[in-house]
Amino acid sequence: MTARTFGVEEELLLVDPAGGRPRAVADAVIRFAREHGGVPLAGAGNAGLLETELQRQQLETCTLPCSSLDELCGQIRDVRQAASVAAAGAGSAVAALATCPMEVRPALTPSRRYRKMADEYGMTADEQLTCGCHVHVGVESPEEGVAVLDRIRPWLPPLLALTANSPFWQGTDSGYASWRQQVWGRWPSSGPTEPFGSVAAYRAAVGGLLATGALLDEGMVYFDARLSRHYPTVEVRVADVCLNARDAALLAALVRGLVETAAREWRAGVRPDPVRTDLLRLAMWRASRSGLDGDLVHPLAHRAVPAREVLDALLAHVAGALEDHGDLETAELGLGRLLEEGTGARRQRAVYADTGRMSDVVTDAVRRTSAS
């Protein structure tokens, strides 16, 4: 079989390399990359793209489409290294943290669109300094893409649980493994969706949201998973940015497995699970609250079970696709390691428990971001 292509977008914090405090220098990072070369910028055909984001304390990176997991993992590492080089040129460093552990006042990137977002959404935009990881997987047609969206719905909360990497907010432990998900959930169009059933219904749903006037444009349709506006892909948007590159690659392998499994179910006439959206919201909240350190909602039984049981179910669900892609053993080892070592959230809390300093949490993340 021909493997589906996949790629990853990651958002990274820009921080002081010594003290760990966030630095609003994204424009200087991009300028250094432009002036010195060797660090690709946004544009067609570039690997390791660097772009600005909503706040000036963050940087967005992305890979090119890849066919194999080894290729993608290599690109994730290369992109992180490219971001690190460009950040260093502006006197800063990058940290793969989904929220900032230290107190910070976000500084808006001064584009026309971002200014409009700040005016329209107030504190939701003002406080939105969060870093996610988005996975794109190729689909053969919009029809296949919508069929995939309808069938992966119950499997998205476990992806958040295994990537949870944002326990701290403004110098305080939030009590959540992924506080990013709680902050991100303030946007009016974020979260799970009902099954669409057809491309026409998907387009009608998007059009209906835009007709309310509550969104500035289609780019603000922040579904947990959506059809990409620019590429022939399904885009899964639920994950925190991962502390380690290997976990970002694991996430991508699982997402590609989910997409392939869903497409096969669609072709075989298997109907999507009609699970209610309010139940999916609860499952996502549970994943955000405890990550892998507590019960999760089982994607098939829709009841509370230990996290290990949910990851076992996820692996069993996508095992056939993973095996066909050559990714099964890697996924098994990766999930086993996460259950044993814990997520980025557990690592952050362990560092803070050892040192009592949020700055050490950030500097530990800086080391792991480019070295993993």
pLDDT at 2: 81
Does residue 39 register a pLDDT over 70?
A: no
Task: Place 42 in a pLDDT band, splitting at 50, 70 and 90.
Answer: low
Predicted confidence (pLDDT) per residue in 3-16, tens digit: 899 999 999 999 99
Domain at 290, CATH number: 3.30.590.20
Lookup: tokens for 62: 């992305």
Lookup: tokens for 54: 């909503």
The answer to the question of residue 241 being in a domain is: yes
CB atoms within 10 A of CB 68: 14
Cα–Cα distances in angstroms (integers) from residue 27 to residues 59, 67, 237, in the given order = 9, 32, 25
pLDDT at 34: 85
Question: What angle is formed at CA 103 by the lines to CA 101 and CA 26, rounded to 5 degrees?
Answer: 85
Does residue 46 register a pLDDT over 80?
A: no
pLDDT at 319: 98
Q: What is the DSSP string of 188-200?
A: TT-B------SHH
Does residue 370 register a pLDDT over 60?
A: yes
Cα–Cα distances in angstroms (integers) from residue 206 to residues 126, 213, 268, 348, in the given order = 25, 12, 27, 38
The answer to the question of residue 15 being in a domain is: yes
Q: State residue 236 phi and psi, 5-degree precision.
A: -100, 125
Cα–Cα distances in angstroms (integers) from residue 144 to residues 39, 110, 148, 181, 232, in the given order = 35, 38, 6, 28, 10
pLDDT at 40: 58
Q: What's the mean pLDDT in 328-342?
A: 97
Q: What's the mean pLDDT in 104-125?
A: 96
pLDDT at 335: 98
The answer to the question of residue 278 being in a domain is: yes
Of 240, 264, 277, which is closest to residue 322 (Cα–Cα)?
Answer: 264
Of 68, 222, 236, 22, which is closest to residue 148 (Cα–Cα)?
Answer: 236
Predicted confidence (pLDDT) per residue in 165-211, tens digit: 999 999 999 999 999 999 999 999 999 999 999 999 999 999 999 99
Lookup: tokens for 218: 């289609």
Mean pLDDT over each residue of the chain, to the nearest integer: 95
* Containing structural domain, residue 228: 6-371
The answer to the question of residue 1 being in a domain is: no
pLDDT at 33: 86
Structural domain total, the chain: 1
Let me know how long the chain is: 372
pLDDT at 36: 81
Strands 168-169 and 132-138: unpaired
Q: How far apart are CA 63 and CA 90, in angstroms?
A: 22
CB atoms within 10 A of CB 221: 18
Tokens 């405890």 belong to which residue? 290
Tokens 């935009």 belong to which residue? 125
Q: How far apart are CA 248 and CA 10, in angstroms?
A: 9
